[in-house]
Structure 1
Amino acid sequence: MPSAVIAEYDPEWPVRAHHLLDEVRAAFSVLPGAEGFTYDHIGSTSVPGLGAKPIIDLQVCLPELPALDELAALLAPTPFVPAHGSRPDSPGVYRDARRPGEHDDAVYEKRLFHVPDTVILHVRRADSPFARFVVDFRDWLRAHPDQAARYERIKRDLADDHADAADYDDYTRAKTAFFTEIGPGLTRWAAGS
């Protein structure tokens, strides 16, 4: 997997995201309760004007997580395959990070698929606090262009710091400081919007 490189915003990102989410929606339509699943384009590529790694992040939320093999079979007609991360400790492959003492650990479990080097599909439980966070964060960045510009500067600096890395796992971990800093304000904003 290549190191983190921040590209200029591409208006084709949301178009591609929409088409891929349609493919995933069709694949998952046979699952019980499929009409209640949520499908979102998340991450930096979902924020107009924001520079990003040119990797589209998508999210599907279901009441319960089927087994990885079951989802992989459903996704077989699509370009998505199971993702395993670059290293054994790659962040966010089998579960999302949680703050100690918060919620049942099971709600942070997830299934991860990708189209290698171009798209990541996060399949999470509907009650996952992290699933809510990524949507709130996307919407907060869209509503706060000054913070989106600041986030892009931080990401560009981190990408430069990790330019020689074999993967972008350490880059991903380093962004946590920004999330921690803006977390309380984001939570207040999300509660009021």
Structure 2
Amino acid sequence: MTGIVIVRPDDSWPAQYEKTARVVSELLGETALRIDHIGSTSVPGLPAKDIIDMQVTVGTEPELDDVVERMAAADWEVRSPKRDHPVPGLPADDLQWVKRVLVEPMYRRRVNLHIRVAGRANQRYALLFRDYLRNHPDTARAYGEFKVRAAALPIESTAEYTDLKDPVCDLIYLPAEEWAARTGWTA
């Protein structure tokens, strides 16, 4: 049995994000160029793990570790991923995929905090993926169905679930790039 639980959409997820974003903003000040609600909980009507994903965008790579130090001092827990998977058709340069991840202090609302550098492929990916799904509800519904079915598989870990999900996300992202070019979308 898997530990992955996909729940029905919760209309309070945006408000939960806003509350946490205020706390993160106070901790980081101007180091955070922007703080965004990303991931499935940021797409209305999309089933998701009941974990708020947030992206903090910083200006330079050294600021990634500065953010980690500040957040760790506030009892946020550092997690191991230091890069995202490269996406076919996007730059393969490792610097484009560097990130840091933290999770909320113990006994607080579940949050995955992704820290990425402005203008890098992975920073754009998270925002474009979200906005594409927000503007393509049929694609969001199909993705939600995939997530529900994937979570029902005998997956041993969150890492296995992510490995299964990544190529599906890429299949959504590639037409999202075309949509962005066609519509003039910007992050």
- Deviation track 1:49-106 (CA, whole Å, cap 9, x = no partner) reads 111011110001111133666324422564522123xxxxxxxx11111147825322
Shift of 1:8: 0.6
CA contact 1:24–1:78 (8 Å) conserved in 2: no
CA contact (8 A) 2:64 2:116 kept: no
Residue 102 of structure 2 corresponds to 113
Q: Is the 8 A contact 1:39 1:61 kept in 2?
A: yes
Shift, 1:154, TM fit: 0.4
The alignment-based identity, stated in percent, is 34
Give the alignment's Cα RMSD to 1 decimal. Answer: 2.3
- Number of corresponding residues: 178
Q: Which runs of 5+ in 1 are unaligned?
A: 85-92
Q: Deviations over 1:128-184 (max 9, x none)?
A: 211111111111111111111100110011001135x2x211111111232232333
Instruction: Return the letter of the residue paired with 1:155.
Output: K
Match of 1:6 in 2: 6
Tell whether 2:60 aligns with 1:64: yes
1:147 maps to which residue? 139
Structure 1 residue ranges (4+ consecutive) displaced by more than 6 angstroms after TM superposition: none
On the 8 A contact 1:4/1:162 being kept in 2, the answer is no
- Look up the match of 1:26: 26
1:8–1:51 Cα contact (<8 Å) kept:
yes
1:96 equivalent in structure 2: 84
Pair 1:74–1:49, CA change in 2 (3 A): same
What TM-score do you get using the length of structure 2 for normalisation? 0.85
Identify unmatched segments of 5+ residues in structure 2: none
- Higher helix residue share: 2
Change (3 A) 1:11 1:80: farther
Q: Structure 1 residues 130-139 or 171-180, which shifts more?
A: 171-180
